[in-house]
Structure 1
Amino acid sequence: MEFPFAPQGWPGRLTGKEAIAAYMRHYPDHIDLHDFPEVRIHQTTDPETIVVEMRGVGRLVETGNPFDMTYIAVVTVQDGHVTSYRDYWNPLAVLEPGVGFAGSAQ
């Protein structure tokens, strides 16, 4: 997994299942993600790569405030396995006071 827009103190790259699992382990403690109401998948000229636009909605566990994040991911698959996932999320949304979640410097 790569996070090209990761803010300082956040990981820019995770390698291997264990690193990804550790990064995501505490995500539910911070964000109660309810749904992805908007998902658009775009094919590319590379048959093993797609671009996904998605919007995740839920609530922030600590404050109860709504969570609404738009993502764009570039996903590469080979032999049925994800080999690359570049997540272009908006780091400004998590830099607001009280919003930190998995992988944050908080």
Structure 2
Amino acid sequence: MSAPTSPADLYRHSLRLLLDKDVAAWTDLWADDGVMEFPFAPEGWPGRLEGKEAIGAYMRGYPDHIDLRDFPELRVHRTVEPETLVVEMRGVGRLVRTGEPFDMTYIAVVTVEGGRFTSYRDYWNPLAVLEPGADFRSGR
């Protein structure tokens, strides 16, 4: 597939890669110095990841914990800054460890420069997927 040509197309492509559980290809959509932030990160979780390598390491185990199956609701809002999007979406699937349903709404503020993600502020609630003894970040 050729590289997406707009920030909205890149974002939609990134969601397809997450559904395909292709975290390596998803990570390749990032600029080397990209920053991912989690404003609602609970204590002990990272609030900020700096660089493509750190973002990829954080996301690597994601499919082992959350089996995303669809994004049935997706609204991509363009802003007055053409490289920045505000995204509202809902992700559904299941928690791998327990088989319990996963149903999460997200709001993200995403900036794309040169066809790569440079900034991603992810406003999701990680407390909704925390299980006693589970650590999404380390594969436990």
Which residue of 2 is the match for residue 84 of structure 1?
119
What does 1:15-34 align with in structure 2 at a 5 Å threshold?
A: 15-34=50-69
Deviation per CA, 1:56-93: give whole Å up to 9, x if none.
10011111110011111100111222110100001331
Cα displacement (A) at 1:5: 0.7
Provide the C-alpha distance between the structure 1 equivalents of 2:56 and 2:43, rounded to a whole number of angstroms.
21
Q: Distance in 2 between matches of 1:21 and 1:79?
A: 19
RMSD between aligned alpha carbons?
1.8
TM-score by length of 1: 0.88
Which one of 96, 99, 102 corresponds to residue 136 of structure 2?
A: 102
**Unpaired segments of 5 or more residues in structure 1?**
none
Residue correspondences, number? 104
Q: Identity rate of aligned residues, in percent? A: 76
Residue 31 of structure 1 deviates from its aligned partner by 1.0
Q: Which has the higher contact order (CA 8 A, sep 6+)?
A: 1
Answer whether contact 1:27 1:102 (CA < 8 A) is retained: yes
Partner of 1:36: 71
Structure 2 residue runs of 5 or longer lacking an equivalent are: 1-35
Query: Could you tell me how far apart the structure 2 residues matched to 1:88 and 1:4 are?
Result: 6
Sort the Cα spacing of 1:56 and 1:99 in 2 relative to 1 into closer, same or farther, 3 A: farther
Q: How far apart, in 1, do the equivalents of 2:95 and 2:133 lie?
A: 7
Per-residue Cα deviation, 1:8-44 (whole angstroms, up to 9, x for no partner): 0100011111111111111111111111111100111
Q: Which residue does 1:61 correspond to in 2? A: 96
CA distance in 2, matches of 1:43, 1:51: 7
In the alignment, residue 14 of structure 1 is paired with which amino acid? Answer: L
Q: Counterpart of 2:137 in 1: which secondary structure?
A: coil
Q: Supply the distance in 2 between the matched residues of 1:35 and 1:80 (Cα, whole angstroms).
A: 24
